Amino acid sequence: MIGSGSTGGWPEGMTIMIEDRDPELLALLFSRAVRGLRAGAAVPTGLTSDPPPLGGTPGDPPSGLSAEWDAAWALRLEHLDDLDDFDIEGRGLDAYFAAWQAAQDALPVPWSDRMQEWLDSSGYVDWVDSACRRTDLDIRPGVLPALVGAWRRGLRTVTLLPLTGPYVLAPSPQRMVVSAFTWSSDEEMVGALRSWTGEKPPQPDR
């Protein structure tokens, strides 16, 4: 969803993308839940909709898979903004998709491809629809002034995750990642937006 306007509190020319279906982040959250991975990343485990159980008897996750999940999560966040500055209007969609493909080819095989047996099911598709539908994407009047302030400091995209606990991350100078819990609370969201600096925080050594 793209929010924009010049009346009702919206400055002239302001546009904000509200993104709630990043395929790689959703695949990671789903697979963590259905396989019971004990990842170390500080990401809330509660989901807005419970995923269906895996068919058969999957057993315990292979040793080391939780650490691989952590690495895949960090990698996706690191590259979430790779094309945020791409000039689609000036260069066109074909150039954008070519740049996107080149960026993907330069990265390791994504988690969603490696774990396709967990995701290639109607259960996963239904879970995505259910989890994302539970979050209202409308920008509420109580949040709009803080959102305008953050936009003036560089915010252009808010990525939502179907999580029931508080979560706020600034992976790039133009993008904020928040949980459905944070997005749905005026107090939580206003606090997150007011703290927005437009600067990517220092990344820990890996």
CA 7 to chain centre: 28
What integer pLDDT is reported at residue 206 of this predicted model? 42
What integer pLDDT is reported at residue 92 of this predicted model? 67
Instruction: Categorize the per-residue pLDDT at 39 as very low, low, confident or very high, splitting at 50, 70 and 90.
Output: confident
Please tell me the least confidently modeled range out of 53-62, 152-161, 175-184.
53-62
pLDDT digits (tens, 9 = 90+) for 160-186: 999 999 999 988 888 999 999 999 999
Segment 80-87 shows an average pLDDT of 66
pLDDT at 112 over 90: no
Burial of 108 (0-12, 13-18, 19+ CB in 10 A): exposed
The full DSSP string for 39-56 is: --SS----BSSPPPPPSS
Segment 45-64 shows an average pLDDT of 75
Distance of alpha carbon 20 from alpha carbon 179, whole angstroms: 10
The full DSSP string for the chain is: -EEEESSTTPPTTEEEEEE---HHHHHHHHHHHHHT----SS----BSSPPPPPSS---SPPTTHHHHHHHHHHHHHHTTTTTTT--HHHH-HHHHHHHHHHHHHTSPPPHHHHTHHHHSSHHHHHHHHHHHHTS-----TTTHHHHHHHHHTT--EEEEE-BSS--EEEEETTEEEEEHHHHH-HHHHHHHHHT--S-PPPPPP-
Average pLDDT, whole number, for the chain?
Answer: 81
Please tell me the least confidently modeled range out of 3-12, 36-45, 61-70.
3-12
What integer pLDDT is reported at residue 48 of this predicted model? 94
Pairing of strands 168-172, 157-161: unpaired
Segment 52-61 shows an average pLDDT of 64
Neighbours of 44 (CB within 10 A): 16
